[in-house]
Structure 1
Amino acid sequence: MKKIVITVLIACFGFQSFFGQEQLSLSLKKDSDKTVNETEHFYLMEITNNANKSIEFSISTENVTCENVSAQKQVVLKQNTLNKQKSNIVESMSIGAGETLEFYVKISRPKNTKLNTWNCSEVKAISKTGKSLSNPILIKSLIPDPKSFN
């Protein structure tokens, strides 16, 4: 009887760990190499399909509230998802089982953006119905005041 209980518990934990995992793993492969005072930044992202089937998805990029930063010190920036060549905006993607894809997230700000502020952009993969398919990645950006560089 003890062996049966242990076997059932192991099976339950196995199912939980299998179904509890995200289907897609998102990671920041390369941070922007531009200085903080530039108006555009490119982040090389990598996504891996952990499932045993192809998955269609899109990348959701949105402004979110930065923790430990007052609301007056936060601004909204524009995000775009670009292909690996940085030449086209990507609306949706497909990835085969076990495959990895790279793409860029471009974060840009208007020239009149309030200085000495912060932005937090959340990047994640979502299904056509809006269901999250990956872990979120948070990109925190500073819009510096050039006077502070003296």
Structure 2
Amino acid sequence: MKHKLTLTLYSFLLVCCFSLCINAQQHAFDLNIVNYSDKPDANIEHLHLLSLTNNSNKVLNYSISSQEIICKTEYDDVVSNKIGDVDNNEEVVVNEKNSSSLTVEIYNKALSKKIDKMILNPNESIEFYVKITRHNNTEMGTLKCFKIATHLLDNEKAGKYVIIRTFIPNPNILRH
């Protein structure tokens, strides 16, 4: 009985330590939208400025990805979407066959090269652009949502994401 209680106590402490480590890594960095594109919805190209900050005391390697997801009503609040959430991969990804003809690319701040990985020193922050380009065959009058996610390369479970919504107006409707 005494050994069972000791084993239970050690198991509990181990789980607590593991949870703290995972939680600490998720707060080791921040992902935020600095500025949404200020161009009209009808523009073919939009640039959104994002920021990634390493809050830890060690050098961290990140991967950056994007995927189209099904839009939800909570994504309507563009102010709260500016602050990155912990990525638990609960968003429903749009089927590739049904995907819109929008291109999402991630560029460095100078817009000189595409990126999918970053290395940040302790307490360093870097800004980068998410470029969304509409093609001629994109469905008009639709709303598309994209999840921009960053993950630690050494721990894919530690990640954050932001949602960027893109409205493709119908040019036949007045004021578009």
Residue equivalent to 2:53? 48
Residue equivalent to 1:124? 149
Residue equivalent to 1:20? 23
Report the secondary structure of 1:52's partner residue: coil
Post-superposition offset of 1:58: 1.9
Post-superposition offset of 1:40: 1.0
Q: Distance in 2 between the 1:19 and 1:141 partners?
A: 32
Flag the 1:67–1:75 CA change in 2: closer, same or farther, 3 A.
farther
AA of the residue aligned to 1:28: I
Q: Distance in 1 between the 2:36 and 2:160 partners?
A: 18
Q: What does residue range 20-39 of structure 1 map to in structure 2 within 5 Å?
A: 20-21=23-24, 22=26, 23-39=28-44
Structure 2 gaps, min length 5: 1-15, 74-93
Report the secondary structure of 2:173's partner residue: helix
Post-superposition offset of 1:66: 0.8
Report the secondary structure of 1:131's partner residue: strand
Q: Distance in 2 between the 1:146 and 1:105 partners?
A: 24
Structure 1 residue ranges (4+ consecutive) displaced by more than 3 angstroms after TM superposition: 15-19, 127-130
Q: Distance in 1 between the 2:115 and 2:128 partners?
A: 9
Aligned length: 136
Residue equivalent to 2:160? 135
AA of the residue aligned to 1:105: V
Flag the 1:16–1:128 CA change in 2: closer, same or farther, 3 A.
closer
2:103 to 35, 57, 78: 78
Residue equivalent to 1:10? none
1:57 to 54, 62, 68: 62
Is residue 119 of structure 2 the alignment partner of residue 94 of structure 1?
yes
Q: Distance in 2 between the 1:123 and 1:115 partners?
A: 23
Report the secondary structure of 1:20's partner residue: helix
Say if 1:31 and 1:42, in contact at 8 Å, map to a contact too.
yes
Report the secondary structure of 2:40's partner residue: coil
Say if 1:42 and 1:105, in contact at 8 Å, map to a contact too.
yes
AA of the residue aligned to 1:112: N
Post-superposition offset of 1:63: 0.6
AA of the residue aligned to 1:145: N
Flag the 1:129–1:17 CA change in 2: closer, same or farther, 3 A.
closer
% identity of equivalent residues: 29
The two structures have a TM-score, normalised by structure 1, of 0.78
Post-superposition offset of 1:133: 3.6
The two structures have a TM-score, normalised by structure 2, of 0.67
